[in-house]
Amino acid sequence: MAKRIEVSGLNVYYGDFKAVEDVSMTIEPRSVTAFIGPSGCGKSTYLRTLNRMHEVIPGARVEGKVMLDQQDLYATGVDPVAVRRVASTSRARVCRVVNSRGCASPGRSRSSPR
């Protein structure tokens, strides 16, 4: 089943470094959305916040809202493993990040910490 993603006021930090600043957008069910930009601009970081994968990096944190069909993915009590399971099994979401050179980028950007 396709799901609507609503993001509002999203800021993503790695320690004191703000990797993504004030992003708000809606991705409608069964739509195609592309994230295109130069290396290190936050494309992969943003995508990792949609399935809470950035949390495996020490010092990472998020401010703002990420809603999946009106459920806040960062609400108290929401299991990040369950969020990842839904994201990985959803047939509606296939994400590919393209950098400014037009190459598919399977890994992380140079500015993203490990």
Domain-embedded: residue 105: no
| Domains of the chain: total | 1
In a domain, 107, yes or no: no
DSSP letter for 85, please. H
What mean pLDDT is predicted for residues 15-20? 95
Asked if residue 20 is part of any domain, the answer here is: yes
CATH number of the domain to which 35 belongs = 3.40.50.300
- Domain containing 42: what range? 5-99
Instruction: Determine the pLDDT at residue 89.
Output: 54
> Quick check: pTM over 0.85?
no
- Kindly state whether residue 114 falls inside one of the protein's structural domains: no
User: Is residue 111 in some structural domain?
Assistant: no
Q: Which pLDDT does position 2 carry in this prediction?
A: 78
Which residues are 98's β-sheet partners?
36, 104
